[in-house]
Amino acid sequence: MTVHVSTHTKQVSKLAKLYEDGQVSDATARTLNKVVDFEVHQLQTDLAATEKDMGEFERQYGMSTEDFFRQWQAGVTDDRMDYVEWASLAQMAENLRKRLEFLTDETR
């Protein structure tokens, strides 16, 4: 799915400000909460699938993704296709975790 950020950035920012100030209708508040819940659920689903794929590499190569990725970043591994895919999955998982943490962190 392509998101056209520039098209809606101002509108979303304005709506977020109104939401923060408690100036939206109950229906809008419920809708926004459902949108966030949907995004959290989608991120959790994507992360679980990514972690499953990383687990297959962990079993195949007998090391954790964390250990592999440290070696990858240090240039210790070669550039075989499996390693490129595994490194990509590790980066995707980290991005998904950060987005999930952002959406679920109550202190923000």
Looking at residue 42, its pLDDT comes to 98
Q: Give the structural domain span for 55.
A: 26-104
Q: Is residue 15 part of a domain?
A: no
Q: Is residue 71 part of a domain?
A: yes
State yes or no: pLDDT of 1 exceeds 70: no
Q: Is residue 99 part of a domain?
A: yes
State yes or no: pLDDT of 74 exceeds 90: yes
State yes or no: pLDDT of 101 exceeds 80: yes
**Tokens at 76, concatenated:** 């210790």
State yes or no: pLDDT of 16 exceeds 80: yes
Say if residues 93 and 47 touch (Cβ distance below 8 Å).
Answer: yes
Looking at residue 3, its pLDDT comes to 59
Q: ∠59-61-67 over CA atoms, to 5°?
A: 95
Q: Is residue 75 part of a domain?
A: yes
Q: How many domains does the chain have?
A: 1
Confidence category of residue 8, pLDDT binned at 50, 70, 90? confident
State yes or no: pLDDT of 61 exceeds 60: yes
Q: Is residue 9 part of a domain?
A: no
Confidence category of residue 85, pLDDT binned at 50, 70, 90? very high
Q: Average pLDDT in the 5-33 region? A: 88
Q: Average pLDDT in the 72-98 region? A: 96
Distances (CA, A) of 65 to 7, 11, 49, 58, 93: 38, 40, 14, 6, 10
